[in-house]
Structure formats: structure tokens, C-alpha cells
A = this chain, B = another copy of it.
Amino acid sequence: MTDDLSHLRADAQENRDRLLQAARDLFGARGLDVTMREVARHAGVGPATLYRRFPTRQDLVDAAFEDELELCRAIVLEGAAHPDPWHGLRTVVERTVELNARNQGFVDALVAAGQVSDRLTRHRAELLHAMAALAVRAKSAGQLRSDFVVDDLLLVLLAARGLRGEDAGERLVAARRFAALALDSFRASATHEHLPEPARVAGAALRAAV
């Protein structure tokens, strides 16, 4: 009986691992635009097993991107704590855009609208607060354009989702070039033109968090 139970537990753990691996593979290659059915098929388990382990799509997304979310948190908190605010801002932009290039769907998961887990909501609030404080420091230092808003950073992250190259190597080169151009657009400069109104890309869910 004990053997049966531990066997069942091992099976359950194995199914969970296979589902998470399948979700990471598919999300990583194609972004979040993957059906639950495809994830189950890729993992070689039935849809019922998938829904028993991860009752909602958000549960699966959260679990699949848990490591990336921790990494993103470390990147932002480290950047925000850097004594040179421009250096901090640059590492955040470069590393988050690269993170998305390596793990397509990560930014989708981060900015997902609608019902999300409490954990993700807390994460977002923490990260947006840290970035807002970093932006204030960088503006005071005369490094960041005065009309920059935190939504501009999210705009760049959202835009990075459009850089779907033919392979991971091309995506990474594109992401690096794109991040460098974005940083040049953020940096205080006498030649910058007047910007049109900021885009409220953060969405109600993200905005409410700050």
C-alpha cells in the first residue's frame, strides 16, 4: 500500500515535470500563443491530467516562468540598487530584453492582463516601484530624458516580443541591437524631439499595482 502510494506520487511528480518542461519548450519557442491541448500533447499526457495539475492556464504559465520571474526580479532589484542610475537602467533594459529573447512568452507572462496570481501581482508592484525610483534618480542625474515615464520601459519590453527571429541566435542579436537603440532613445539629449503622449501600456492591472 505504501509502495502503491509512493508509486502514485512519483507518477504525479513525473507528469508535473513533463508538463512544465513541455510548457517551457512551447512557450519558449513560440510565446504564450499555445493551447493547453498542445502542451498536454507535447508532454505526452492527457488533457485531464494537465487540468488536474494546473487547473487554469495562469497556473501553468506561473509555474513555467517561475525561474524567469525570479531572474527578472534579481535583474531589476540589482539594477535599481546600482550607485550609477544610468548604469542600473541600462543593465535592466539589456538583460530583460535578452531574457525575453531567450524565453519567448516571458514578457507576455509578466504583463498578462486579467486574473493573475497574487504572487505575480506582488512581483509587478515591487518591480514597478523599483523602476520608478531608479528613473527618478537617473533624471536627477541628468542622464535620463525628463519626459520618460515607466510605461516607456514597458513599451520597449512589449515591443521586444515582436522580435521573433528565425532562430534563438538571431533573436538574441536583434534583442541586443534593439535594447541599445531603446537606451539611446531614453538617454537625455539636446537633439531629442518632443514626444507624443505616453502610452498607458501597463494596463489597469499593472497600473493598480504601483
Contact = CB atoms under 8 A, between A and B. Distances in A.
Nearest to A196: B176
Interface stretch (A76-84, A117-125, A132-140, A158-166): A158-166
Copies of this protein in the assembly total: 2
A180 B199 contact: no
B180 A155 contact: no
Q: Which of under 10, 10 to 19, 20 to 34, or 35 or more describes the interface residues of A?
A: 35 or more
A209 interface: no
Interface stretch (A39-47, A55-63, A65-73, A181-189): A181-189
Contacts of A165: 199, 201
B159 A178 contact: yes
Contacts of A174: 155, 158, 199, 201
A123 B193 CA distance: 32
A95 to B, nearest CB: 14
B181 A195 contact: yes
Interface of A: 33, 113, 152, 155-156, 158-166, 170, 173-174, 176-178, 180-193, 195-201, 203
